[in-house]
Chain A
Amino acid sequence: MQKPKLALYWSASCGGCEIAVLDVNEKILDVAAAVDIVFWPVALDTKYKNIQAMPDKSIDFCFFNGAIRNSENEKMAKLLRQKSKILIAFGSCACDGCVVGLANLWNKESIFKRVYIETPSTINPASIFPQNKVKVNDKELELPVFYDTVKPLSHVVDVDYFISGCPPPVACIANAFEIILNNKLPPKGSSFLPNKSVCDECPREKKDRKISNIKRIYEIEDDKITCFWDQGVVCMGPATRAGCGAQCLKVNVPCTGCGGPGPQSSDQGAAMLNAVASVAADPKVLSQAADPVGTFYKYSLANSILRRKIKE
């Protein structure tokens, strides 16, 4: 039998997901032995045209990490969709927009202004901004178009499966490979992470749930046993998909929500706020959260109901 063809692509993201693939350790060898990696820009030198040349649906599995930030990202997403039988949104950026998606609080204009003019280390007296087309030595170079809005992969193409996380939990990656290699695929649209929340995996004890004020982690003396919410500290665990084994909590750091919203949820931040508001003693307590979007939508603003800031 022919080995399945695997592609991995890195779009708008930090690259951590690529490292996470390697973090499956020796299992990667099994994978490498079992599949034929046809496209992996970070490791193999492959050109656009090589991909374009492939017949449609000739890639069996494509792991796509990174959000859609510019036209190149979108073009590659569409191309890989065309060439792949199964497209997997890999990592928080591809699934939910992740930290990249927080740029949706601004637009292209304001981001460029900040990056190319206002940052203290920038010297740009002529106010030169990146252009789509630039002439260099009589040749025209083309740069991708920078979008106003960051999108998760599923907003531009049809996605078959999801593996969220920043980066995805190693155990879940390994599990995904196992499922793929054994051809035991779940229904389309599923996640390779469990359908529970981080609380399900968290060893901390939940107590009275009467939240009277919201503190930052440095403001409390963590007893290392009690649920952070019961100690008044924001923890995104309740509204975050499980799979990580609550690894942050196990080292006494509250969950920041990288697993993305739960399976039934359309809006991770709102979902968490509902719960906290419901048990908060004082309605004003949530205004104590220093940075609501950064706190509750750190990984999922681009995949929330409203997706971006409406008016500047």
Chain B
Amino acid sequence: MTSYSLFLGCTIPARLPNYEVSARKALSRLDIDLVDLEGMTCCAPPPVQSLDLETSLAIAAYNICLSEEADLDMITLCSGCFESLTVANETLKQNEPLKAKVNGILAEAGKEFKGSIEVKHYLQVLSEEVGKEKIKANIARKMGNLRVASFSGCHLLRPSKILKFDDTEHPHAYDELIEALGAKSIWYRNKQKCCGGLLRGYADDIALAIAREKIINASKAGADCIVTICPFCYLTLDLGQVLMKSTYQEEHNLPILHYSELLSLALGVDVKELALEFHKIKIDSILNKIG
């Protein structure tokens, strides 16, 4: 059993209980122990970075400090949190003057960034630590030829110089984890392109247009569903389809799942425990297919 401090972030607890519940259940079945620490805040993602980069570093570092104090590596479910925390963690580890500056700020909050822990995305833990074999060995439900359009989003992989997970031009870790569940990960056009999620709220029309292309490309390739690992991609594509109905008068009805949900299903978690009612686009077709 490996323990991690769970960095939950803002969006998941506020909007996606179905993500959280499936992740907690799946990870616990794979012997990953999640520790909830007191006092965590927002990770300072791009919207905060846009206001002040150095403040954002300090906020991210503050959260890392809590994990350092608990002597636990950190795990995130959200790619946005993963990216902002890792960028802060790695940058501060390497840039002494910046670290000193940030520690000057953190001193006000009684913290000191030491650089003693790692930040990991749960997909990274599944891929590098748990491993496909262990997942395969625990599978309790067949995927019945499910054709999955995998979508890893941006901030799991990029900026690759800092995140150092998988190969950003030829990513394979995520697809392998999907195939490990018995589903088929299919190719579709512009698979690695952004979903536009970060423009939601500021330029909804653009965000929606980008998301729409994604939905269309995946549908064209014959996907049964898109599986995401980031709450923003999920919201953009799931909720987005509701908006597409009113904006474009289109009904795509392409189910969007979190990877943790697919994983929970494969591991045999009772469907009733997964709060699937939170999906805007119903996933009954998927449930039927995998029995």
Please determine if A and B sit in direct contact within the complex, based on CB atoms under 8 angstroms apart: no
